Amino acid sequence: MQQLLIIGFVWPEPNSSAAGGRMLQLISLFKEQGYSVIFASPAQDSDFMVNLAEYGVDKQSIALNCSSFDAFVKELNPSVVLFDRFMMEEQFGWRVAENCPNALRLLDTEDLHCLRLARQKAFKENRLFQTSDLMVEGVAKREIASILRCDLSLMISEFEIELLTTTFKIDKALLYYLPFLLEPITNSAFEKLPSFEEREDFVFVGNFLHEPNWNAVQYLKETIWPLIRKQLPEAVMNIYGAYPSQKVLQLHQPKEGFLIKGRATKAQEVVSNSRVVLAPLRFGAGVKGKLIEAMQCGTPSVTTTIGAESMHGDLPWNGFITDNPQVFADEAVQLYNDKKSWLEAQYNGLVIVNQRYSNAMFVEDFNKYILALQANLQQHRLSNFIGTMLQHHTLSSTKYMSRWIEAKNK
């Protein structure tokens, strides 16, 4: 039996973020192929983490900058190691390479952190983002190095694959498109969704530890919501999200119909009972879990070009895409009031989920690709000279920095 070791940045919280849901999808993918799965993390336990034992996954706490990990991973001797975001590869990649040289090293990027941060910086400097911004983004140097050191990086966004291959000249052999893996929406399930008449209110759902979400809620409150309320004076905007800070809670204004609800214990139920999802994201990266969830719940959405990036291919969106605040408000009102537009948008979401994210489209090909990669691992690494070079220098630098920190901590 093959063993998969996942080194997690945090313990999975699928009810807090799309990243948590994505991780459970990857766990299920490998479990279905017969892997035994061990999830290790240096993070503290949280009140909202899943019980990994219920998924047939062993849980292991590990320490940063500590040789105890070396003994653990050497004894485990996994056939595949999956790093959850580049920060975990930075911390533990060299230890895996040194103690388990034959293990296939995978990186789940989630989204390109350097892209999100460069866009955020451009937004805050009130200028348009340019791809050249990535060349001076410090995180880019770390993230691209991590991608090069790994045997394969799992990418959730086709746009980001194009960016990596053109801007950073990454070999396509190091990248694999594996988006959200969803169960198709059947006709019977679609028919059971709440009807247009049974739904009410606008909704936004997003983890507030994620800066693009906080910025989007500010933008809603200050700019877009007043434009909507001019047309719909009784409208209600429900804001849900894990880990709301005091600055988020201060936006709660019942007289304006703008309600901060905090964590949604049953997010799909909340979204299914709402009429329209609003997601005016002004920077970010990756694929947006909140908008996938809207489609699964049969809830049309209005979002921005950043929000819809790489999500729908050539298919029509399940609502509207615009970066103009007045148009955003007008189209939100149209979806809320016009049943015909709403039903068309809802159906578009069904098509997007079934034609772009159905797990059956990806599982078999991914398994074959991993097996072929394992069978040809030595040649694959020889073809990635820059990655091999980076791994060599990482072993020579990061290794001794980590050893120094370990000795200092003693």
How many C-beta neighbours within 10 Å does residue 339 have? 12
Looking at residues 18-22, what average pLDDT do you find? 90
CA distance 304 to 218: 15
Q: Which residue has the tokens 């989630």?
A: 110
Find all residues with CB under 8 Å of 67, minimum gap 6, and list them: 403, 406
CB 230 within 8 A of CB 265: no
When pLDDT is cut at 50, 70 and 90, the band that residue 258 belongs to is: very high
To 5 degrees, how large is the angle CA 218–CA 223–CA 226? 115
Q: If residue 187 lies in a helix (H) or strand (E), which one and from where to where? A: helix 187-191
CA distance 321 to 279: 10
Model pLDDT, residue 177: 98
Decide if pLDDT at 403 tops 80. Answer: no
pTM attached to this predicted model: 0.93
CA distance 147 to 387: 8
To 5 degrees, how large is the angle CA 88–CA 89–CA 90? 90
CA distance 85 to 100: 20
Give burial (CB, 10 Å; 0-12/13-18/19+) of 94: buried
To 5 degrees, how large is the angle CA 147–CA 304–CA 348? 95
CA distance 135 to 148: 16
Q: Which residue has the tokens 């988006």?
A: 179
When pLDDT is cut at 50, 70 and 90, the band that residue 404 belongs to is: low
Length of the chain in residues, anyone? 410
Model pLDDT, residue 409: 75
Decide if pLDDT at 265 tops 90. Answer: no
Decide if pLDDT at 21 tops 70. Answer: yes
What domains can be seen in the chain, in order of their start residue?
A: 3-181+362-409 (3.40.50.2000), 187-356 (3.40.50.2000)
pLDDT in tens, 337-388: 999 999 999 999 999 999 999 999 999 999 999 999 999 999 999 999 888 8
Looking at residues 134-159, what average pLDDT do you find? 95
Find all residues with CB under 8 Å of 232, minimum gap 6, and list them: 333, 336, 337
